C-alpha cells in the first residue's frame, strides 16, 4: 500500500476515504514544524497539506514523493520551481470555495464600511449611553463604486453580488477578462491607479506572488479616497500591514477588513490597537459545506494522482500537469 502524510487535522470521514487506498500518517495535532514535516514526509508517496511550506529541502528529503495536494486554492506555500525540478505534482482546490469566499468578502467589506465591529466593541464595553445622530457614521455600499483587484473566479463571484446593491464595478487584473464576462458583471477594466482613485470600496482577490508583494503600500493607500475601505481576502503580504496601520490612524482611508495577514497567524500588533479595522482569522472559505468540499477535493486529487480510484492518473486540479507521468527526479 502506498503511504501518505496528512499534515493537518481534517474531517475524519475524509481520512476514512483516504484509508481505503493508503497507509495514512495523520497529524492530528498542531502545525508540524519544518523538521518534523520533513521527517514524516520522507518515506511517503503523497501528502495532503493546508498551507504548509513545501520547498526544495522537503522534496529532496522525500525521494518517493510524487504529489502534494493542498487543501486551498492558493498555493503560495509551494515552491513550484522545486516541484517542477523534482517532477512532483502539486494540486489545489479551486472553484468549490468561490461563492462562500465571495460572501465573506462582502461581509468584511460591509462590516468595515458600516463600522460593525468597532461599534460592537464599544457597546460591549458599556459605553452606549444614548442614541446620537452622528454615532458611528459609515459609508454606503449601495450606489457606490466597487473596485476589485484580481478578477479571477472569486473576484467575479464578488462582483456579481454588486448588482443587488446597484454598484458600479471597476476592476484591475493581470489581463482583461472576456468581453462577455465584463458585460455580464457590468464591470469596467481600469488601471490600478485609476481603480484606487475612483473606488469607494476596494477588495483584493488576487493570488500572492513575488510580483504582488505589497501591491497595496503607502503610495497606493495615499491614492485612495479618505472615505474608502480596503478589504483583503486574498493573502497576507499583498498589503503592507504596517503602511495600512498608518493609513487607518491618519484617516488616509476610512476603514479596512483583513482576513489574511503578513506572517499569519502572527499579526503586526499595531493592527490590534486600530479601531477602524475588522480582523478575522483567515476564515473566508470557512463554511461547513465549503470546507468539506475542499477536503474531499484535496483527497480526490491525491487519490487520482497516486493512480487510485475512479479517476486514476487524472487528478482534477493539477497545478503543474506537465510533470504527470514523468519519473521522479
Ligand atoms: C484558499 O483556499 O486559498 C483559502 O485562502 C484557504 O486557505
Residue-range domains of the chain with CATH: 3-94+288-323 (3.40.50.720), 98-279 (3.40.50.720)
For residue 85 the three cell numbers come to: 525540478
Residue pLDDT, tens place only, 215-244: 999 999 999 999 999 999 999 999 999 999
DSSP-derived pairing of the beta strands 145-149 and 168-172: parallel
Q: Which atom of ligand 1 is nearest to the CA of 235?
A: 5
Over range 92-116, report the average pLDDT.
Answer: 98
Which residues are known to be catalytic? 235, 264, 282
Confidence of residue 64 (pLDDT cuts 50, 70, 90): very high
Distance CA 26, CA 10 (A): 9
| Average model confidence (pLDDT) across the chain | 98
- pTM (two decimals): 0.96
Distance CA 295, CA 93 (A): 8
Residues 6+ positions from 312 with CB-CB distance below 8 Å:
304
| Buried-state track 249-288, b at ≥16 Cβ within 10 A, e below 16 | eeebbbbbbbbbbbebeebbeebeebebbbebebebbbbe
pLDDT at 61 (0 to 100): 98
CB-count exposure of residue 188 (10 Å: 0-12, 13-18, 19+): middle
Confidence of residue 3 (pLDDT cuts 50, 70, 90): very high
pLDDT at 237 (0 to 100): 97
| Helix (H) or strand (E) segment spanning residue 245 | helix 241-249
259 alpha carbon to ligand 1 midpoint, in Å? 11
Instruction: Give residues (CB < 6 A) around ligand 1.
Output: 51, 72-74, 97, 285
Confidence of residue 112 (pLDDT cuts 50, 70, 90): very high
Q: Which atom of ligand 1 is nearest to the CA of 50?
A: 7
Hey, whose CA ends up nearest to atom 7 of ligand 1?
A: 72
| Helix (H) or strand (E) segment spanning residue 49 | strand 46-49
Q: Which atom of ligand 1 is nearest to the CA of 71?
A: 2
Q: Is 304 helix (H, G, I), strand (E, B) or coil?
A: helix
Amino acid at each position: 500500500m502506498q503511504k501518505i502524510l496528512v499534515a493537518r487535522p481534517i474531517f475524519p470521514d475524509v481520512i476514512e476515504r483516504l484509508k481505503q487506498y493508503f497507509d495514512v500518517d495523520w497529524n492530528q495535532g498542531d502545525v508540524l514544524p519544518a523538521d518534523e514535516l520533513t521527517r514524516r514526509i520522507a518515506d511517503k508517496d503523497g501528502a495532503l497539506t493546508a498551507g504548509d511550506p513545501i520547498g526544495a529541502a522537503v522534496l529532496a528529503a522525500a525521494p518517493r514523493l510524487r504529489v502534494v495536494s493542498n487543501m486551498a486554492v492558493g498555493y503560495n506555500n509551494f515552491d513550484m520551481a522545486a516541484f517542477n525540478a523534482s517532477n512532483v505534482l502539486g494540486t489545489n482546490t479551486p472553484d468549490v470555495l468561490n461563492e462562500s469566499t465571495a460572501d465573506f468578502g462582502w461581509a468584511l467589506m460591509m462590516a468595515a464600511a458600516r463600522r460593525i465591529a468597532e461599534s460592537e466593541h464599544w457597546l460591549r464595553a458599556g459605553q452606549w449611553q444614548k442614541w446620537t445622530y452622528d454615532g458611528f457614521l459609515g459609508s454606503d455600499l449601495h450606489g457606490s463604486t466597487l473596485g476589485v483587484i484580481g478578477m479571477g473566479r472569486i473576484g467575479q463571484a464578488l462582483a456579481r453580488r454588486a448588482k443587488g446593491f446597484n454598484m458600479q464595478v471597476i476592476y484591475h487584473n493581470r489581463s482583461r477578462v472576456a468581453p462577455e464576462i465584463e458585460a455580464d458583471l457590468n464591470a469596467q477594466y481600469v488601471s490600478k491607479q485609476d481603480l484606487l482613485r475612483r473606488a469607494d470600496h476596494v477588495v483584493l482577490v488576487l493570488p500572492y506572488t513575488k510580483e504582488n508583494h505589497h501591491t497595496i503600500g503607502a503610495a497606493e493607500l495615499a491614492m485612495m479616497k479618505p472615505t474608502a475601505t480596503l478589504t483583503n481576502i486574498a493573502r497576507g503580504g499583498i498589503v503592507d500591514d504596517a503602511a495600512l496601520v498608518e493609513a487607518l490612524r491618519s484617516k488616509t482611508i476610512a476603514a479596512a477588513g483583513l482576513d489574511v495577514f503578513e506572517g499569519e497567524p502572527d499579526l503586526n500588533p499595531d493592527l490590534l490597537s486600530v479601531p477602524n479595522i475588522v480582523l478575522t482569522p483567515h476564515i473566508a472559505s470557512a463554511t461547513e459545506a465549503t470546507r468539506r468540499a475542499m477536503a474531499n477535493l484535496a483527497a480526490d486529487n491525491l487519490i487520482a494522482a497516486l493512480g487510485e480510484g475512479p479517476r486514476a492518473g487524472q487528478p482534477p486540479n493539477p497545478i503543474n500537469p506537465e510533470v504527470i507521468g514523468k519519473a521522479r527526479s
